[in-house]
Chain A
Amino acid sequence: MERFRSLVFLVSILAAIGLSAGHVAVHAAAGGADNGAQTPATAKAADPDAAGSESYAMHCAVCHGDRREGNPPGVPSLVNIKSHLTDQQIAQLVREGKGRMPGFPKLNDDELTGLLEYLASAPPVSPVLAGNHHGRPELTAEAVAGGALFAQNCAFCHGRDAMGGETGPDLTLSKLVLADTDGSKISAVVTEGRIEKKMPAFQFSSQELLTLAAFLRARVVAAAAMKGRRRGVDVSDLQTGDADSGKKYFDGAGGCARCHSPTGDLAGIARRFEGLQLEMRMLYPKDAKSSVIVTLPSGQTIAGTLAYLDEFTVGLRDKDGVYHSWAVERVKYTVDSPVQAHVEQLAKYTDDDIHNLMVYLQTLR
């Protein structure tokens, strides 16, 4: 099935490219195609102006790349350059150069017009993008460009279709992605990374970040269209337990009630979190804080939230939010980490315990 869908997706990409920036919906044709992985190597971009394309290849591609991807941050991507520069501005840049970019004063008007037309066309796309995509995507040129970027940099962890895979979460279910109307939230995460979750930071241009966001939005739409056949973990998948047994575990063997209360800190928890997010939080809340008390050589003690700890340095934020740190051999310190109880519990759960507890927590609305 995957291969069939990938063929459909490839067809839709080719169609989108063939019609330049047109927004084309391609409907899946019924049939038994099964060799979608044999992507035709001949997939080529439409070429609205061969002269412009040649001119680009001769003058620009050496720095900005065959697919206009650039090499950020030094060399900007030219994908969708026309959305933030006018023809006049581009022409001036090309003629006069800027910074490290040389000028091309000898380009005649016809060549320049051809180049501008070429830059307005959809960029060539790597056929690798046509992997295992789903649904009937209506991909804009922007989303196609973002898809190429995603395939190279993100797909290994988040899956080629952004629906999760090797450790990386399903981005089509991400609250942040779903809430991000202008691409700013996605851009911030990509640019800063999520070091604590092992996600590296990427230095993409603002234009590239927008293409990534466009690709993710297209993936959200495609994923939503799958309904019951949706990959990944749905809320409905996590309902196999029994609430009464879950409550019993909460109050008894699980030891949850030692720290938590269904009418206290957990009141309404199921309104704040759901599905996999709730279950993962239940098993180990990654944002839980530890507190620390540091005793200085003078005997003075400073308490705060543990902010850094390795073999050599201990750091805290005090009640005013100010960061302090010490070499560990100069002080005594005591860390109080209630979340450690969650780690110890991991070795004790049966899978039934987890499923029961999960159903019980969902009653706390």
Chain B
Amino acid sequence: MKFPTNAIAFAASTLLLLAAGSLPLPAQNLEPEQLLNPSSESWPLYHGDYSGKRHSHLTQIAPQNVANLILAWAFQTNQLAMIKSSPLVVDGVLFFTVPNNVWAVDARSGHMLWHYVHKTEEGEFIGHRGVAMYKGWLYFTTPDAHLISLNAKDGSVRWDKIIADVKLGYWSTMAPLVVGNHVIAGVGGDLDNLCGYLRSFDPDTGEVQWQWDASPPPGTPNATTGGTTWMTGTYDPELNLVYWGTGNPTPVLNGATRPGDDAWTCSIVALDPDTGKLVWGFVASPHDTHDWDAVETPVLVDADFHGKPRKMLMQSSRNGYFFVLDRTNGKSLLTVPFGPINWTSGVDREGRPIPNPDKEPKPDGRLIAPDEGGMTNYRSPSFDPRTGLFIVDARPSWSLYFTKPADGEYGWAGADFGLWSKSVIEAIDYQTGKIRWSHEVGQGGSGAGVLTTDSGLTFTGDSTGNILALDTRNGKTLWHAGTGAPMQTSPITYELDGRQYLVTGSGGVMFAWVLPVSKPTRVAR
């Protein structure tokens, strides 16, 4: 195991342990420092690291040998619920979820260590994104909006706290984010007019440390509600800022009661993780009336932008726009659509799309691109630092949006209907927004999340259930395997005993792929 920032301390403790006559075996113990520099043997955060790039430095599986990939193991959940979670891997154990269920599985063999079931019928069972970990403890959100801390060794419950009141219409599906001694958890709930918020919990005691509200309290005149927080944010340790995307305003399709931008719904916000105070915010969809949550991963990239080194934040947003922001202050660097959109009359001076009032839902319907599922959704994009490509599962789509007085001013307050869609994996040049290559992955459905690696591979999936390995330079297919169901999550990778594993979930099955042992194929780079 390698922990560069901790190398000396680690070496010292190893020596001490050796002197005491015992070897240090890993023991499901994840120190906050390890989150800052994840080892190649681990995938300790939802996005793999704090940056949200979903990019791995592993190179054993490479363009030259990826065609040889074989199945290492498959784990059957024996449930109908589709796996939508991105697993964690810590000390050789893989943790993943579906609603109300957590599994701990041997990352080498796929053998189950334990299975935790939270018994509730309340709340929303739409999906679950995974767990977070701090030291020897896991943090699991539930359909009834609880945050449960489990012992990573055996899945036993340490404590059970409430993120939000399920009786009001909240639920939670997200994987919390651990930053320092904060476990930051969010909520879903846009079937009711509720305030979306983030709540930070003490990782040991479960006490609430702070709460950040995305919108004013329900009932505030001329103000929006909403701004759910149902996806995991990212973190910049240097700036000590947490970045989060927020969901749509409510009522959802009827914006009449909430004039203006409806901040901070459909927004990207930067918060101080120690206090929960807002440092800056950027409204990605001002006055949204199409359910286009801006919760997609805020990807943090340090690189040149038009010749100047920048600390950037990039998001391919559900509303069809690719945003590049300066993440020190939230100022726009680039705003450009990455597929067909027809709901704006341009982009304002702050880089925000200007919604066309005539494209708000109407009693006789409006034709809108993209549809409500959006140009992309919760499945992760990936940023490949070697090529400077931002690779995303894009979904050109068209739909009809309606609202009328009878639909009211509560909850959904309208109706929308998808007409047609297809999925395309797109490689976006972050400096211009130009699409360098695109790879069609099928009609109708949406594609899978994306993982890139230093060897030049892009792993994703198509809408019929194939896992794909693409050449990151040009998008050409190098390997595929049919899994029986489209991937509804994002791939991860890790290396154990000198062997690189690729893990992908489809339907109710988790698959691990490796190169055959008999052919040593490590590629020197």
Q: Is A92 an interface residue (CB 8 A)?
A: no
Residues of A within 8 A of B410 (CB): 1-3, 132
Q: Please give the distance in Å from B403's CB to the nearest CB on chain A.
A: 10
Q: Are B168 and A37 in contact (CB under 8 A)?
A: yes
A positions within 8 Å CB-CB of B: 1-3, 37-39, 41, 65-67, 69, 126-128, 131-132, 148, 152-153, 155-156, 159-160, 163-167, 169-170, 196, 198, 200-203, 226, 228-233, 237-240, 276, 279-280, 283-284, 310-312, 342-343, 346-347, 349, 351, 354-355
Q: How many A-B residue pairs have CB under 8 A?
A: 149
Q: Does B417 contact A (CB under 8 A)?
A: yes
- Residues of the B chain whose Cβ atoms lie less than 8 Å from the Cβ of A346: 367, 369, 398, 419-420
Q: B38 at interface (Cβ–Cβ under 8 A)?
A: no
Q: Is the CB of B82 within 8 A of A200?
A: yes
- A1 near B408 with CB under 8 A, answer yes
B149 vs chain A, min Cβ distance (A): 24
Interface size on B, residues (CB 8 A): 57
A-B contact pairs, 21 of them (CB 8 A): A2-B408, A65-B121, A132-B191, A148-B121, A155-B124, A155-B191, A156-B124, A163-B415, A165-B191, A166-B416, A167-B417, A200-B80, A202-B80, A232-B407, A232-B415, A237-B363, A280-B419, A311-B462, A346-B367, A349-B367, A351-B362
B:160-199 near A, CB below 8 Å: 166-169, 191-192
Nearest 3 interchain pairs by C-beta? A2-B410, A240-B364, A164-B415
Task: Given A346-B369, A349-B367, verify A311-B408 contact (CB < 8 Å).
Answer: no
Given known contacts A126-B122, A152-B125, A311-B466, A166 and B372 CB-to-CB distance under 8 angstroms = yes
Residue of B nearest to A74 (CB): B78
Contact indicator B169/A237 (Cβ below 8 Å)? no
Q: Please, which residues of chain A bring their CB within 8 A of the CB of B80?
A: 200-203
* B445 touching A198, Cβ below 8 Å: yes
By a CB distance below 8 angstroms, the chain A residues around B468 are 311
Check if A237 sits within 8 Å of B402, measured CB to CB.
Answer: yes
Least CB separation from B416: chain A residue: A167
Least CB separation from B190: chain A residue: A166
* Docked complex: B386-410 residues within 8 A CB-CB of A: 398, 400, 402, 404, 406-410
Which of B119, B407, B466 makes the CB contact (< 8 A) with A310? B466
Instruction: State the CA gap A262–B237 with chains docked (Å).
Output: 66
Instruction: Contact check, B373 vs A167: say whether CB atoms are below 8 A apart.
Output: yes
For B407, the closest partner residue in chain A by CB is A231
Nearest CB of chain A from residue B257's CB, rounded to whole Å: 12
Q: Judge if B337 is at the interface, Cβ distance under 8 Å.
A: no
- Closest CB in chain B relative to A242 CB, distance in Å: 12
- A312 & B466 in contact (Cβ 8 Å cutoff): yes
Instruction: Chain A residues near B167: list those with CB within 8 A.
Output: 37-39, 41, 127-128
Assembly CA distance A69 to B192 (angstroms): 26
Neighbouring B residues of A239 by C-beta, 8 Å: 364
Sample of 14 further A-B pairs with CB below 8 A, known A128-B166, A310-B442: A1-B408, A1-B410, A37-B168, A69-B121, A131-B191, A167-B371, A226-B406, A229-B406, A231-B408, A232-B415, A237-B365, A240-B363, A280-B417, A310-B466
